[in-house]
Structure 1
Amino acid sequence: MHKFAPGIQGTQHEYREFSIIGDEHIAASRSTEAISDGTMLGQFSGASSDLRNAKSPEERQMLVRTMLRTLGFNWLCYCRFTQIGEMVSDALYYGTFSPAGWPKKYFGEKHHEVDPRLCFASRYEWPLIWDLSILANAREHGRDSLRTQRFIEDAERAGIRSGVTFGLVNPRNLDHSVIHFSSSTPGKGWIVDSVVGQAYAVGLSLHEFLLHHVATPNLAHDMSGLSDVQRNILNYITNGMSDKEIADQLNMSIHNVDYHLRQLKKRYGAQNRVQLAYITGRFLSN
């Protein structure tokens, strides 16, 4: 485990491309299932229903911006992705409440690959209270300090100087969500416990809303697209069978088994056989 800074630990992840989305990608509710876990707090405990009941994107944006200003934040960034080991894929970034031009800068410069906040939140579910000095300390301990320094300089120019970051993990699949609240105020001393609690309530409300209204490309590709051979191979590798054993079971050559495994790893973003078995056991077999 690589130490980034006091309280920030993790290793650098390998990312595929992020899809940047806005309100134009928000559709009617995809589900009527309530997912609130009862952890939303304080005056923003009804924010999720307020977001759902907003009559227009403009009304929804005004609601969120008002909540941000009330808490002392200027910006909110939300991203959701699938993580397998150190591989992060099938990711989206909701940039409506980001500083102007920040999503393009952030991903154009590949800052997401060295952002210590993202690494922390993809591993832990407790909040990270940060400012630029914390991120600078992460740079000193990181593997790519020059790139991290450029990220910090760009964040400073964008007015991203302090904030709190939350990670949300869905235990039923491989999805992770990360929510950044940020402010132009230097230093993190102003971010007291009550601010963290209310920010979590707002973030969870937005997470719930987006989870129901924005479809995420993920590993849940339609299993009907798999051949019977591919389905059998997935089942066999989860049982720990070797290529030779699979070939004997399916009456085919080891070369053909290897070919199908390569195609399956490519389809589901797995780097190796272990990850493919993990995906099958945790997700595709549901």
Structure 2
Amino acid sequence: MEIETPPERETFRIAPRPAHTGLPLFDAAPRPAGAQLQAAPPLLRRLLEAGDDSTRRQVVREAVAALGFQSLGSCWVTLRHAWPEALPSEKAWTDGDWVRQYLDEAFFEIDPRMHEATQTGVPCVWHVDELERRAPLGTPRARVARFVSALRHNRMNSGVLFALPGHGLHERHMVGLLSPSSGSHWINDRVLQQAWAVAFSVHQCQLHQGSTAPPEDHRAGLTAVQHHILSRLATGESDKAIAAGLGLSLHKVDYHMRLLRKRFGVRNRLQLSQSAARLLAR
């Protein structure tokens, strides 16, 4: 099947693209609405024209299965610290339980794949038997072992992870395709190219659907004290340190934290600190 080949992109420095693949490719330029949508490659067009999330998930499931993968999930991370931190936004295109477990147990904090993909910008091809060895020095080995065990339990033995551009310098949209197949030898240049097409279609679809639009600027209406609390929270200070630094009681800090969580629409302190970091980076 003849396909169009997109221009080379520095960001992902992958192997030369083959002349023929099973899925269409496209460039990263924003796609205008209306008649020009018809010029979009078929996979992206099918996602954008789908009437609901259920239909879009079915389209993704079919594309993923055609490549030999079992599932696809995505989340947004910020790179302001040594390890990526997940933002309160994720999309389970095929396996919601795994995406929730990944975020609930904060596996992104110790996931060697996440570290490699965000640090290098190169797609991370992996298989489960080598992940513990690929973990950077200083990574808590017990947590890495727990992560690897969870992958095996969910029959996620190999795959590829892409780090796509986010809304700002410090953000990335992580899209991963996973497979029950053993080893990673089967993820050759052709499969990698097609996986890239699927991942980037998902990325573009989420952008066009507005599901990952940048959060509202919540600075308007904040008090001076709340500004200071957010600034200290974003740098990792504890409630006790914030109280001491601002001359407040712990009760007062807790009161403002509750107000800020409600204002930002987040559930816990971690999500609030991530939102604060995003806000201050803008």
TM range (shorter): 0.5 to 0.7
In terms of fraction of residues, the more strand-rich structure is 1
Residue 35 of structure 1 corresponds to which residue in structure 2? 30
Q: Distance in 1 between matches of 2:137 and 2:170?
A: 28
CA-CA distance at 1:111 after TM superposition: 2.1
Give runs of aligned pairs for residues 191-202 of structure 1, distance below 5 A. 191-202=187-198
Out of 150, 160, 167, the position equivalent to 1:164 is 160
Out of 86, 94, 119, the position equivalent to 1:97 is 94
Quick one: higher RCO (CA 8 Å, sep 6+), 1 or 2? 1
User: For the structure 1 residues 121 and 140, does the alpha-carbon distance in structure 2 shift closer, same or farther, using more than 3 Å as the test?
Assistant: closer
Q: Distance in 1 between matches of 2:140 and 2:200?
A: 32
User: For the structure 1 residues 131 and 75, does the alpha-carbon distance in structure 2 shift closer, same or farther, using more than 3 Å as the test?
Assistant: same
CA-CA distance at 1:92 after TM superposition: 1.7
User: For the structure 1 residues 62 and 280, does the alpha-carbon distance in structure 2 shift closer, same or farther, using more than 3 Å as the test?
Assistant: closer
Please say if 1:263 is aligned against 2:229: yes
Query: Which consecutive residues of structure 2, in runs of 5 or more, have no partner in the other structure?
Result: 1-28, 32-39, 238-276
Q: Distance in 2 between matches of 1:110 and 1:126?
A: 23
User: For the structure 1 residues 220 and 271, does the alpha-carbon distance in structure 2 shift closer, same or farther, using more than 3 Å as the test?
Assistant: farther
Deviations 1:102-140 (A, max 9, x none): 234323333222111122222232111100122121248
Q: Percent identity?
A: 24
Deviations 1:120-178 (A, max 9, x none): 22223211110012212124845211111111111011010001111012474432111
SS, match of residue 122 in structure 1: helix
Q: Distance in 2 between matches of 1:104 and 1:127?
A: 23
Q: Distance in 2 between matches of 1:211 and 1:183?
A: 26
Give runs of aligned pairs for residues 36-55 of structure 1, distance below 5 A. 45-55=41-51
Q: Distance in 2 between matches of 1:140 and 1:123?
A: 12
CA-CA distance at 1:223 after TM superposition: 4.5
Residue 67 of structure 2 contacts residue 191 of structure 2 at CA under 8 Å; is this kept in 1? yes
Residue 60 of structure 2 contacts residue 93 of structure 2 at CA under 8 Å; is this kept in 1? no
* Between 174-183 and 86-95, the greater mean CA deviation after superposition: 86-95
Q: Distance in 2 between matches of 1:101 and 1:157?
A: 12
Residue 139 of structure 1 contacts residue 149 of structure 1 at CA under 8 Å; is this kept in 2? no
CA-CA distance at 1:260 after TM superposition: 6.9
Residue 85 of structure 2 contacts residue 109 of structure 2 at CA under 8 Å; is this kept in 1? no
Residue 90 of structure 1 contacts residue 217 of structure 1 at CA under 8 Å; is this kept in 2? no
User: For the structure 1 residues 88 and 65, does the alpha-carbon distance in structure 2 shift closer, same or farther, using more than 3 Å as the test?
Assistant: same
Letter in 1 for 2:172: H
Q: Distance in 1 between matches of 2:218 and 2:227?
A: 18
Residue 159 of structure 2 contacts residue 179 of structure 2 at CA under 8 Å; is this kept in 1? yes
CA-CA distance at 1:49 after TM superposition: 1.6
The two structures, once aligned, show a CA RMSD in angstroms of 3.1
* Between 60-69 and 104-113, the greater mean CA deviation after superposition: 104-113
Q: Distance in 2 between matches of 1:114 and 1:183?
A: 20
Count residues in correspondence.
207
Query: Which consecutive residues of structure 1, in runs of 5 or more, have no partner in the other structure?
Result: 1-33, 37-43, 231-258, 273-277
